[in-house]
Amino acid sequence: MKFGLFGGALAKRGSKSTDSQGYGPMVEVIQAAEALGFSSVFLVEHHFTGEGQVSASINLLTYIAAKTSTIRLGTGVTILPWHNPVLVAEQAVTLDLLSGGRLDFGIGRGYREAKFTSFCMTREEAEERYHESLELILKSWRSDERFSHDGKYWRFKDIVVEPSCLQKPHPPLWTGAGTDISIERTAKAGLNLLLNQLAGFERTEERMEVWRKACAEAGRAFDPMEVGLTRGMAITGTDAEYDQAIEQRTQRVAHMASQHGLLPGQKGDKQPATGTGPAPSATDGALIGTPAQIIAGLERFSTMGIGHVLFLMLGNAELLRRFAAEVMPAFETERQPNEIFSNIFSRRTHLGRLCRRGGAGGLQLRRQFAPRQSLQTQRPRAVPCRDL
C-alpha cells in the first residue's frame, strides 16, 4: 500500500501574506512528506470560493516540482469544462517534463452547482465540453503530426502540442467518481479511480465491488494501484485527543456540506446527482484512533483492493512524522539493505537542505526532524509505481 496527500492551501485576499507565503507552509509539508516516504500529492482546483483556495493547481504543482525530486504530482482534479483543452494539454506536459515524469493528471467535469452558475454553463453543456476536451487532450498528446479540430465547442487549425509527453504514451489519467454509473464509465474509459473522503467502509466496499466488475467487463486487469482513496486521519493516544479529533472532523464535514453539499453517490447510488442529503458522520470518511486502529482500518481498505490512500493535508508535518514512524512500517514491502540505506542517505541530504534554508520554515523542520529522527525511525522513500 502506498500513501499520499490530498488537498490544498489558503491564500486569502486581504491578508498580510502574499500567495507564496500563504502556500509556503503547504509546500514545506509536501517536502517533509516526500522525505518521510509518502509517494504522491494531489492538489484540488476550486474557483470563486472567497476562501483563497487553490485555483491554478498545475501552476502550483510546477513550483512544487522544483522543490521536490520523487513525490508524484497530481491534479485532484482539473475541471476540463472550465479550461481551453489545448492550453491545458500544453501546461500539463510541461509540468510532466520539468518534474521528470511525475505528473498524475486528474480530471473531472465539476459538481458544485455554484460553479456552473459562475461560469454561465449548464450541467449538460459541461458534460459535453468534458468529453470533447478529453478527446482533444489525448489527441494532442498522442499525435506527432499536425491536426485540426472542428467540434461543437472548440475549433483549432493545423496545430501540434509541444512539448511531447515524457511519460509514454501520456501521464496517467485519474478521475473522481462516486455513483455506480460514473465508476463503471471510469473503468470503461480506461481511467484510474479517485474515491472521495466522505464515504464510510460499507459504501467504499460497494464502490470497489462495482469497480472490480466494471474492470472485468471492460477487459482490463484489476490493479489496486489504479485506485486512490482519500481519507481524513488523526492519531490519538487519549480519550481527550480522540474527542478533540472527532469534533474537528465534525466541524470540517459540516462546513463542506453547508457550503457545497454532498458529493454524488455518497449514501448509495440512489442519492441525487445534486449531492443533497444529511451530512455524513465524522467517522464515515476518516481514520481516527490509535496507531493500531489506524492500521486495522487501512488493512480493511487493502482487503477491498485499494492500493493507494491519500490523507487530507494538514498545516504541519507532525502527524505525517508520527504516521511514518508508527503506521507506515506495517505496510512496507521487503527491500534489499543497500536500497534502504541509499534512500535513508538521500532523505538525510534532502532534510539537510531544508533545514539549512533558514527562516521560520527551516527552524520548524529542524525542530520536527532533527531531535527525533534516527536510522530506526526514518522511513525509506517509496519507489513510485507505474501509476502513482
For the stretch 230-246, pLDDT in tens is 999 999 999 999 999 99
Q: Dig out the grid coordinates for 261 from the structure.
A: 453539499
This prediction has a pTM of: 0.80
The CA distance from 332 to 380, in Å, is 9
What percent of the chain lies above the pLDDT cut of 70? 75
Which cell numbers hold the place of 116? Answer: 456552473
Distance separating alpha carbons of residues 11 and 313, to the nearest angstrom = 15
H-helix or E-strand containing 287?
A: strand 286-289
Point out the least confidently predicted range of 194-198, 261-265, 277-281, 344-348. 344-348
Specify the pLDDT at position 142.
96
Alpha-carbon distance of 108 to 83, in angstroms, equals 11
User: CB–CB of 195/250 below 8 Å?
Assistant: no
CATH (residue range 2-76+177-369): 3.20.20.30
Note the pLDDT of residue 356.
Answer: 43
Res. 254 pLDDT band, cuts 50 70 90 = confident
Indicate the pairing of strand 147-150 with strand 155-159.
Answer: antiparallel
Q: Does the bond joining 172 to the residue before it have cis omega, within 30 degrees of 0?
A: no
Q: What is the pLDDT of residue 154?
A: 97
pLDDT digit string, tens, across residues 361-381 = 443 433 333 333 332 333 333
Give me the residue spans of the domains in the chain. Answer: 2-76+177-369
C-alpha 312/C-alpha 19 separation (Å) is: 21
- Nearest residue to 229 via CA among 306, 175, 300: 306
Contact 208, 306 (CB under 8 A): yes
Residue 221 grid coordinates: 486487469
Nearest to 72 by CA among 4, 9, 174: 4
Query: Residue 10: which pLDDT band, with cuts at 50, 70 and 90?
Result: low
pLDDT greater at residue 165 or residue 14: 165
